[in-house]
Amino acid sequence: MGFLTALVTWPTAPARGVVAVARLVAAEAERQYRDPSAIRRALEQVQHDREAGLLSEEEAAAMEDELIGRLL
């Protein structure tokens, strides 16, 4: 049965491969999005930009809230 199943489902193999790669990419993106060290660096950049006058207090506070939310 395994050979027959493989033969019948062979045309869908490229689509299954694309789905598998998409799942891997999504998992890695999620891991990087929630990485505490990356979030810490982003918070430091927000602080630097605030001190340099590139961000208003409201903008910086909104960015910090979003970054902290990623940790939870």
Residue 13 within any structural domain of the chain: no
Q: Does some domain include residue 36?
A: yes
- Domain of residue 29, residue span: 20-71
Half-sphere exposure of 44 (CA within 13 A, CB side): 6
Q: What is the pTM of this model?
A: 0.68
Mean pLDDT by 10 residues, the chain (72 residues): 80 89 96 94 97 96 95 86
Total domains in the chain come to 1
Q: Output the pLDDT for position 39.
A: 96
Q: Which residue has the tokens 């999620």?
A: 30
- Pair 18, 50: CB distance under 8 Å: no
pLDDT in the model for residue 43: 96
